[in-house]
Amino acid sequence: MDIRSPVKRATLADANERRDWRIYAAFAQRLIPQARTLYEREDFGLDLSHTVYVLDTITIDLCLALFPWAPFRSTKAAVKMHTLIGLRGNVPRFNLISDGMRHDVAHSLSDFYSQQN
């Protein structure tokens, strides 16, 4: 490709700004089942007869002026992304986005299953 210097972050940000997010969502929806199939039999050091999941949550900080619908603190906004991950292969099973104030304990597995169906 004859790239002689590192690509600047601003260039990537500009390119991503012009791309529709649904392209990435559709691509991920195609890759996740393939990854799950690839790793479903991989040994991860524990002898378990059933699938084991972990729940991981990240708070995504947002600007309150731009996202007034997502209040988190008095001066900032946020949403939380809760991801249920299968330990075998570390492949996400479900994602749920909630308001930034919602605690992980407030979710049940039915929240995640309802997102898939």
Domain that holds residue 75: 9-116
Q: How far is CA 31 from CA 35, 63, 85, in A?
A: 6, 31, 15
Q: How far is CA 18 from CA 9, 14, 23, 34, 61, in A?
A: 15, 7, 11, 28, 22
Is residue 70 in some structural domain?
yes
Is residue 3 in some structural domain?
no
* Structural domain count of the chain: 1
Is the per-residue pLDDT at 6 higher than 90? no
Tens digits of residue pLDDT in 33-61: 888 888 777 776 777 777 778 888 899 99
Is residue 1 in some structural domain?
no
Is residue 80 in some structural domain?
yes
- DSSP strand pairing (53-62 vs 91-99): unpaired
Tens digits of residue pLDDT in 8-31: 777 777 877 888 888 888 888 888
pTM of the model: 0.61
Is residue 4 in some structural domain?
no
1 pLDDT tier (thresholds 50, 70, 90): low
Q: Compute how many other C-beta atoms are within 10 angstroms of the C-beta atom of residue 94.
A: 17
Is residue 43 in some structural domain?
yes
